[in-house]
Amino acid sequence: MKTITLHNTLPNVFSQRTDIVSDIWQRDVELERGKLYLIEASSGTGKSSLCSFLIGYRHDYQGSICFDGKDVRTLTQGDWVRIRQCSLSTLFQELRLFQELTAWENVQIKNSLTHFKEDAEVSRWFEALGIADKKDAKVGRMSFGQQQRVALMRALVQPFDFLLADEPISHLDDNNGRIMGELMTEEARKQGASVVITSIGKHIDLPYDKVFKL
């Protein structure tokens, strides 16, 4: 997937509003593979909606969203499964980790689907992110900041053209935020992929190609 384009897109819930000032809603926006984007949002501007639309979780919007020029409303279930496995990886704001499984298993449940990364590399990430000692701990027992790092690793054990990171560092200190930013951009660089980061206020300092205000 080379481009994601939005044409005049607007969440249905905003359809009655006339005061929308946004770089994304009701505009023509194009996100290109290989570039680094930041979407800055305030509360209630539809950031979660945007992410849901992009991963095909929700379709309650006007206008259109296209992957490589193809309207996502025309995609089949099989297309979405392939896209989620191979083209578009997501770090969910609500993480969507499995509380009953350990940190390691939460990454493996994705990696054993894609067979994308060696165990050794994942172990190195655990080290780098400072949670190597939590590998075998149940995710339910970990802090939100620790869980965010697990969710990032799970998002990285798949091939992708776009990595959508929804508020990835909201609960992390600057140092861990920086490490996470480096890890994301490094993986994206290796694959020639794009990273789209959203944030409310706090964001990772990275050489963004473009910053949108939602």
Partner 1 sequence: MKQANSLIWRLLRQHISIGQLVGFFLANLIGMLIVLLSLQFYNDLVPAFSQEDGFLKNTYIIVSKRVSTVSMFDNNSSVFSNDEIDDIRQQSFTNSIGEFTASKYRIYASLSLSGAARMGTDMFFESVPDEFVDIDLDKWKFEEGDEEVPIILPRSYLALYNFGFAQSASLPKLTEGFISMVQMDLRLRGESERIELKGRIVGFSTRLNTILAPASFIRWSNQRLAPSSSTLPTRLIVEVKNPTDDNIARYMYDHDYELEDDKLDAGRTTYFLRIVAGIIIAVGLLISALSFYILMLSIFLLVQKNANKLENLLLIGYSPARVARPYQLLTISLNAAVLILAFALLMWLRSYYMTMLQQMFPDMEAGSLMPAIIVGLSLFVVVSLFNIFAVRGKVQNIWDRKD
The contact set with partner 1 (CB under 8 A) reads 55, 57-58, 77-78, 81, 84-85, 90, 92, 96-98, 100-101, 105, 108-110, 112-114, 154, 158
For the bound state, the minimum distance from the C-beta of residue 207 to partner 1, rounded and expressed in Å, comes to 29
Rounded to a whole number of angstroms, the minimum distance from the CB of residue 105 to partner 1 is 6
* Smallest distance, partner 1 to C-beta of residue 166, A: 12
* CB nearer to partner 1: pick between 86 and 200: 86
Closest by alpha carbon to 53, among 175, 210, 166, 179?
Answer: 166
Calpha distance 110→150 (Å, rounded): 12
Q: Which is nearer to partner 1, 41 or 157 (CB)?
A: 157
Between 55 and 131, CB nearer to partner 1:
55
Integer Cα distance of 54 and 164 in angstroms: 9
Q: How far is the CB of 106 from partner 1 (least distance, A)?
A: 9
Alpha carbons 111 and 154: distance in angstroms, whole number: 8
CB-nearer residue toward partner 1: 109 or 200? 109
DSSP conformation class of 61: E
Spatial distance between the Cα atoms of 201 and 25, rounded to a whole number of angstroms: 19
Smallest CA-to-CA distance from 37 within 201, 158, 199, 202 is with 199
Nearest approach, Cβ of residue 125 and partner 1 (Å): 17
Closest approach, Cβ 72 to partner 1, in A, equals 15
Question: 3-state DSSP call for residue 63?
Answer: strand
Q: Which is nearer to partner 1, 22 or 85 (CB)?
A: 85
When the beta carbons of 110 and 134 are compared against partner 1, the nearer one is: 110
Rounded CA separation 200/166 (Å): 10
Query: How far lies 149's CA from each of 14, 108, 112, 172, in Å?
Result: 33, 14, 19, 9
